[in-house]
Chain A
Amino acid sequence: MIDHRIFEDLQTKIDEETHVRDELQEIVQTLARRGRSTQAILSRAHSTPSGQLKPVLDSATKEIIAQKKEVTRLKAVADQHPFYKYNGLWTRELQNLVTAIELCAWLGGFQEYKGADSCEFLTIEEVGKFLDVPVNLKEEDAFHLTIEEYLLSLIAMAEELSRLAVNSVTLGDYTRPMQIGSFIKDLFAGFQLLNLKNDVLRKRSDGMKYSVKKVEDVVYDLSLRNLIPK
């Protein structure tokens, strides 16, 4: 005899899970929409001389703060459920946001969140502090920014900066490629310390050497022609 209740219970659970996913998805979609507009604003940096970046950074900051509110909303809902059960729904958008924050910070924004002896990028703790979310939780099952998400964001940031190195030259700025070059090499040295397995982090960080090469080529071209400012 087959007990019907077994299947009725399963259907109830499937319906409940769908409801949770719908609720989270709605927030993630808002986050994604705002994320696209943040990205559009930040892409103006490619055509703006570094001296005139302030208005770009200001409006990017405004969008990022709007996204931060969505993250707070997301956190409130996500905290009611197991973190890794639904993490896949928002991880992409959260990574994009962290990339935007890091880019904005590297270009001179978010100064108040950088530590005194800080590097040129925000540490995972500093990002967490800005977004007001915990980071790298190892015990507690709650919403947080994971190490993997943070590292993937840094890789995306390096890709964007390598593009900026090329465009800086077009804008007549020969100093910024040097700064980008030394920063990306630092970051790359960091990634080389990691023992990566065959996963998404490995795949993405393997691509980082192309970002390094792209910037090195720019620096090489400039130095060959004695264009590097002393």
Chain B
Amino acid sequence: MNNNNKNADADANANAAMDEPSSKVLSIFGTFRDELDEHHDRRERIIKASRDITALSKKIIFSLQRTRTIKSPLPPTIAKETTTRFTQIHTLFTSLTPDLTAVNTWRYQRNISPGIQEFIEALSFHHYILTQELITKEEVQAKLPREVLVTEEDYLMGLFDLTGEIMRFAVTGLSSGAASSQKDQKKEEKGEEKESGEGELRMLPESQAGLVVDLRAMRALFEMLSVPRRYHMLRDLGKKMEVMQTSVEKVEKAAYGILVRGSERPAGWMPDLSHAVDVESY
């Protein structure tokens, strides 16, 4: 490190001897170099942490997609996995706090934003599976060190991605027929006896119907947001909106399919989810 600097200085001096650039210019730019180096180092640390946070968040989401219950505690193995990963994420965020103080909080916002959005997706999905409610921005902020900003943009984009996760969760649940809390299962058992009679009104299990209702409500609320076009605010809004609409429609179609053809489905049949995964945008 020191040697490198010395060499660079020696080179600069050699140049000075040849072309006689003013030493004043070189000393000014020497200062700039040090400051820019600091800036690049900081930015790289932040980008790296953001990538690690994204990877951990994705793993949390995969674990959560293996659960089949909603509004009830997670199975112990999944709970343990997610807790460990949330702790790792928190450690990563905390390691960044010295780089994100004062004026730097916003300076590097764009560099850390991908990690934060993925984290919000994981956290809100976790929250939704446990409570069937949306996590608020304040609740997200409470999970993070003060220096890490939760911007409206990241929060909103996280919620958009959440609809994709709920879609996968709902479609898997609908087709495997197992995604219901215990209370619902009882109802379902009773219901099946009744519904087996021909011509009777078929209904989705309560928890499944809840997912469809929630997704529709979210879609309506997303579509109600009005964002002026003259600035590059919420740049990805259009694309995210389309993906979200597709997700909601997938669930609506799946619900329809189960109601109409549900009884014809062979026992143990599982839907092909390979396409659903693609919908998630990176």
Contacts and interface: CB of A to CB of B under 8 A. Distances in A.
A10 B36 contact: no
Contact of B233 (A3, A14, A191): A14
Interface in A52-101: 82-85
Interface stretch (B187-195, B220-228, B272-280): B220-228
A119 interface: yes
Interface stretch (B14-22, B77-85, B174-182, B261-269): B14-22
Interface stretch (B26-34, B52-60, B252-260): B26-34
B12 interface: yes
B142 interface: no
B35 interface: yes
Interface residues of B, number: 46
A191 B24 CA distance: 13
A84 B217 CA distance: 35
Contacts of A39: none
A80 to B, nearest CB: 14
A186 interface: yes
B106 A82 contact: yes
A186 B25 contact: yes
B36 A191 contact: no
A161 B35 CA distance: 27
B244 to A, nearest CB: 13
B181 to A, nearest CB: 15
Interface stretch (A133-141, A171-179, A219-227): A133-141
26 contacts: A1-B133, A2-B221, A3-B136, A6-B134, A6-B136, A7-B225, A11-B224, A17-B152, A17-B233, A21-B231, A85-B106, A85-B109, A119-B22, A123-B28, A137-B103, A141-B105, A147-B32, A147-B35, A186-B25, A189-B12, A190-B26, A193-B12, A193-B29, A193-B33, A195-B33, A195-B37
Interface of A: 1-4, 6-7, 9-11, 13-14, 17-18, 21, 25, 82-85, 117-119, 123, 136-142, 147-148, 151, 185-187, 189-191, 193-197, 201
